[in-house]
Amino acid sequence: MTRSLEFPRYGDKRNSPFFEEYLAKLLEERDRAGLTEMIRQIDALMITVEPGNSVAYVGELCLMTPYHYLVTLESEQHDTHVLRIDMSAPDLLVREVKDPKTRGIFRSLNEVYPIGASRPNSRYMGEIFRVTNPHAVVELQRSRDVRFFNQDQIRRLELPGNMAVVKPSPYTHNIVGYWERPETDIRVYALGLSSIRGDVDAAYQQAKETQARLGIDGVLLPIDHLATRVYSQNREAAILEYLTLTSYYYWGSYDIADQNSSTNVTKSVHHANELESPAKVFTAANHPYFVNHLLGLPSPTEQFVRNFGPRLHHLAVAVTDGELGGRPHIDYVVDSLRRCGQDFLLDVIGSKEEGLKQIFSSASEYSSLIVEYVQRFGDFQGFFTKGNVANLTHAAGVDETLRALEAQART
């Protein structure tokens, strides 16, 4: 039996007694019930964008990441473009709403937040996990009060018909899906008519030609981690809920006091290599917004959640360890993309001596998601240094403040 509590713990963030008590109880019960063994890796990530934006977003992703355009699946209300690296890394499902008047639960999650409402159909939806026995997984999760969309709701929302999908989290607003796929089988999504769309393929081909011309195509790796931002009061509940729904374990948390936030990491018990099943990171403010005027501290994380809602903030793409032209690969990648017009929120931070270099891109105009690049040196195993994450959080906070002002000016 997998023992989810036997992994080493990292970090300096102190959790509540409630968190520590129920972390142990939930993971021990999950292991005993067999859920940890039945729920395996993340097979796909789902993103929705506004009408007319998916072709440009596919081109952007295929330039900035190692993903390739595979196929488009057309249903009545959505086109879904499947992006794939290979079968050892998760797919990206980029879903475009055809009619801007289309309404549903995912749109409603955006509309109560000032910047989220400006792009009501654009959001990261969640992760799809491969499971070995979907019926048993669903029954066990239902017995733990987990709620699922029924088949009629899945049909009306045009979610993949070969999946069981948990309703959006009250803490992260993300969904989790389960489906059965023998590990040797390819991924096939029950999402509509399949075709290779000429406009999408042209955007993809242009992106890959640019990658090759820049010389960055050989140094980009799959997604390393997914970073979600939540309200300060929901930090512990969001982590515990995700561990309830998945086969991940609690890696640890770091306090970033000067940015009034903490970074909290969960990882797959089955895959030590994040590139096979990305780590899921939760960032939350240390204090709610209404005490900041008393503390005199910045609060970029809480500001983001108040403007966009709880949601995914960035996808982190790994870069191979090595140098090109006497510069670390990450510097070469960033300089090359900057020459093509891609903006970044700051310069590359960190160093080889510290074991890690990182950077945030500007947020995509199509999905609002940031792409992070991360290069680890040697045997460095972590996700950040405290100095790095403080600088990244500050830079993102400045960008988000500017976007909030722009949104106010438009209204």
Taking alpha carbons only, the member of 392, 377, 311 closest to residue 345 is 392
Taking a C-beta distance cutoff of 8 angstroms, is the pair 224, 280 a contact? no
pLDDT of residue 378: 86
Q: Which CATH number does 215-410 carry?
A: 3.10.180.10
Taking a C-beta distance cutoff of 8 angstroms, is the pair 271, 368 a contact? no
Taking a C-beta distance cutoff of 8 angstroms, is the pair 247, 220 a contact? no
37-211 matches 215-410 in fold: yes
pLDDT of residue 353: 86
Pairing of strands 78-84, 68-74: antiparallel
Please state the pTM of the whole predicted model. Answer: 0.94
Name the stretches of the chain with pLDDT < 70: 385-390, 394, 396-411
pLDDT of residue 102: 87
Taking a C-beta distance cutoff of 8 angstroms, is the pair 280, 92 a contact? no
Q: Considering Cα of 94, then 100, then 101, then 106, what sign does the dihedral take?
A: positive
pLDDT of residue 299: 86
pLDDT of residue 404: 52
Quickly list DSSP for 281-300: EEEEESS-GGGHHHHT---H
Taking a C-beta distance cutoff of 8 angstroms, is the pair 6, 269 a contact? no
DSSP H or E segment with residue 390:
helix 386-410
SS3 assignment for 310-325: CEEEEEEEEECCCEEC
pLDDT of residue 258: 85
DSSP letter at 76 equals S
pLDDT of residue 410: 53
Neighbours of 70 (CB within 10 A): 16
pLDDT of residue 231: 97
Please report, for residues 229, 256, 285, 292, the alpha-carbon distance to residue 259 in angstroms, rounded to integers and kept in the order given: 14, 6, 8, 11
Pick left, alpha or beta for residue 141 (phi over 0 → left; psi -120 to 50 → alpha; otherwise beta). alpha
pLDDT of residue 1: 73
As assigned by CATH, the class of the 37-211 domain is alpha beta
Quickly list DSSP for 190-214: -SSEEE--HHHHHHHHHHHHHHHHH
pLDDT of residue 396: 67
Strand partners, 128: 44, 177
Domain ranges of the chain: 37-211, 215-410
